[in-house]
A and B are shown apart, each in its own frame.
Chain A
Amino acid sequence: MRQSIIDGASDAATELAQQALANGIDPLEAVNLGFAAGITFAGDQFGCGQMFLPDLLASAEAMKAAINILEPEMLKRGSQRETLGKIVLGTARGDIHDIGKNLVATILSASGFQIFDLGTSVTPEQFVAKAKEVDADIVGISALLTTTMAGQKAVIEALDRSGLRPRVKAIIGGAAVTQKWAAEIGADGYSRNAIDALELAKNLMGTIASEETT
């Protein structure tokens, strides 16, 4: 199972998931002890430059294929896969550039985050509504253009008004986004690329956990 994910072999992963169900293996164990180990390995290999984005995307697709097979049985048994956190993603209003956001979604999802991708040109209201609906931990707003960066600020203000913040964290990214801009609009973090975004999201989940215990 682990190898099918590392190889990015969706067909093999599907077949192994079906075999697991046929043999009465607990689907949650198949994920946690089998397939997820592959995604962790792939993420590590990507992090140290041994695997590349197309490899990682294929691993994420294979993971999705396996989960699709196992999910109905997991629901039946009332067991749920543990996720690192729930993240709502989208590009700011007026911005249709989504390649960076899609990469972040893939890498975060492959690493165990649950991603709710709202797509491109998303309004502040849509971000807030989705964050409420899924009880999100983090909202990520992407903007490529200097002209649409103002949209990131609008989302953060809407999250503030809705009372979701500071519990829900807001992060931003995009070619023109800088640390200074992130500070100016009161974002909880920014990252320059998808790899940094993973680190950032993990750190914020740590912050959330420590806030909840205090």
Chain B
Amino acid sequence: MRPRIQLLAPDLIERILGEAFELLMSPGVRVGSAPVIELLRSAGVEVDNGVARIPERVVRNCLASAPQDFYLYNRQGEKAVHYGGDDVHFDPGSCCVQMLDPDTVEARPSETRDLVRLVQVTETLPQFAAQSTAVVCNDAPSAIGDLYRLFIVLQHSHKPVVTGSFSAGGLPGMIDLLAADSGGQDNLRRKPRAVFDVCPSPPLNWSEFGSHNLLDLARAGVPAEIVSMPLAGGTAPVTLAGSVTQHAAEVLAGIALHQLAGPGSPIVWGGAPAIFDMRTGGAPMGAVETAMLNMACAEVGKHLGLPTHGYLVATDSKFVDAQAGAESARSAMLGALIGINMISGAGMLDSLACHSVEKLILDTEWIASAYRLVRGVEVRTETLATGMFAQTGLSGEFLKLKETRALFRQEQHLPSSVIDRSARGSQPPSDAFTRARARVDELLSIYQKPSLPEEVLGKFQKILGREADRAGIASAFRGD
């Protein structure tokens, strides 16, 4: 039996959806993109002064055309991530601007070498089913930053990628890059390797580029993941139930315009909801209420039969310390218990402002523990204990039993060297951060870079060059 946890009673989910549909009519949803407004109008949606009032009937039709599940594929074309049901996957947090320097233990602007290191380490860890375009490369031109990050990840990884386009006009180049990787647009549509995060702005606002990206993704048939981020008390109602309702309304609106543009195109009920910290005005990602919001939002998505996403396994601490461990481990377990299909956020410190390879490695242990937890207590032997006692009597020699040797690997998560369970010996004990630093080197030594065909690399360079020209960047920049 898979252990479960439930935050919302079925009648509360119905109330949440009921009010979410009301919000879509009044006050309605702000929509920034003119082509999207046209699309909504052609579906009979009233749009006045950029505010759309989307009737429940239109949204229900769109929900009916949205797929209940889909897969992301790795470079080899194998199924690697299943968005649907209660399957749980993790990927490192996305797009932060700073990196924790393990030598100085200070945050500094992140660069290409940091992204490469994160991708390399993630590549070696089976707990991460997908990569993410994890950090902004401050050493690359920001005008093509989104494309450049994806380019770096595709060069260094076989895994699927959680990515996103956060500036206007950047998406087509990224889709071209993925198509080059997959061997054409049709292959990309058939076996997508990436999912794109697309964010509404709370409250109830689909900005010009956000709504336009949904449209482009739907038409290209590349999976989109709606990341709605209400801040309870700040940009959304203070109650958890109220914020979950706003989240539902924002995602429902997104699904509507996405499915109107490309019926049947894969779409994820996702988010990065958080409470609003009433002292600092920040978004505390490690708060238990933030985890509760992610869980409750996912429950609503599951109720509608949609693939889900959430933002957990992150912390507000600036160091890889006790707070970081406690907050990240707790939310990894909670997210897995709900059965969120993709849980982003591992590796992140400082309320998503800073990434750390060392934290990512420790988070891997919490994730492995979460996977172990959701497997639950399984019955693996004909009798539970009597059969084994028939062999040992009262000798206590269980270590010798063939069952022990055959089953311990399934029964126990065997932690890596970052978890200290040793007896105190002659060596002075080390702390988790020190052990994680050593583990980074171990993992980097086993990492193998994929060898991409020259033809694909050539296409990558061409797309990067073309987009650099389009953005008006000195033609000398072609990436490396």
Q: List the interface of chain A (C-beta within 8 A of B).
A: 49, 52-54, 96-97, 99-100, 103, 145-147, 150, 175-176, 178, 180, 193-195
**CB pair A194 B281 closer than 8 Å:** yes
Is B280 an interface position by the 8 A CB rule? yes
Partner of B207, one of A96, A146, A180: A96
Partner of B98, one of A97, A147, A178, A194: A178
* A175–B274 alpha-carbon span in the complex (Å): 15
Shortest Cβ distance from residue B208 to the other chain A in the assembled complex, whole angstroms: 10
Is B390 an interface position by the 8 A CB rule? no
Is B231 an interface position by the 8 A CB rule? yes
**CB pair B233 A146 closer than 8 Å:** no
Contact bitstring B160-204, A, C-beta under 8 A = 1, else 0: 000000110000000000000000000000000000000001000
The 3 closest A-B pairs by CB, nearest first: A52-B278, A147-B167, A103-B281
Contacts of A146 in B (CB 8 A): 97, 136, 142, 145, 166
| 24 interchain pairs, CB-CB under 8 A | A52-B279, A53-B279, A53-B281, A54-B233, A96-B205, A96-B207, A99-B231, A99-B234, A99-B235, A103-B281, A146-B97, A146-B142, A146-B145, A147-B142, A150-B142, A176-B97, A178-B97, A178-B98, A178-B109, A193-B280, A193-B281, A193-B282, A194-B281, A195-B280
Shortest Cβ distance from residue B250 to the other chain A in the assembled complex, whole angstroms: 15
Contact bitstring B244-286, A, C-beta under 8 A = 1, else 0: 0000000000000000000000000000000010111110000
Shortest Cβ distance from residue B235 to the other chain A in the assembled complex, whole angstroms: 6
Is B45 an interface position by the 8 A CB rule? no
Is B25 an interface position by the 8 A CB rule? no
* A53–B207 alpha-carbon span in the complex (Å): 27
Interface residue count for B (Cβ, 8 Å)?
A: 22
**CB pair A99 B207 closer than 8 Å:** no
Q: Kindly list 8 other residue pairs between chains A and B, CB separation below 8 angstroms, not including A53-B276, A97-B201.
A: A49-B279, A99-B235, A99-B281, A146-B166, A147-B167, A176-B97, A178-B97, A178-B109
Shortest Cβ distance from residue B48 to the other chain A in the assembled complex, whole angstroms: 19
Beyond A146-B136, A175-B353, is A53–B278 a contact (Cβ under 8 Å)? yes
* A133–B201 alpha-carbon span in the complex (Å): 32
Contacts of A99 in B (CB 8 A): 231, 234-235, 281
Contacts of B142 in A (CB 8 A): 146-147, 150
* A54–B279 alpha-carbon span in the complex (Å): 9
Shortest Cβ distance from residue A5 to the other chain B in the assembled complex, whole angstroms: 19
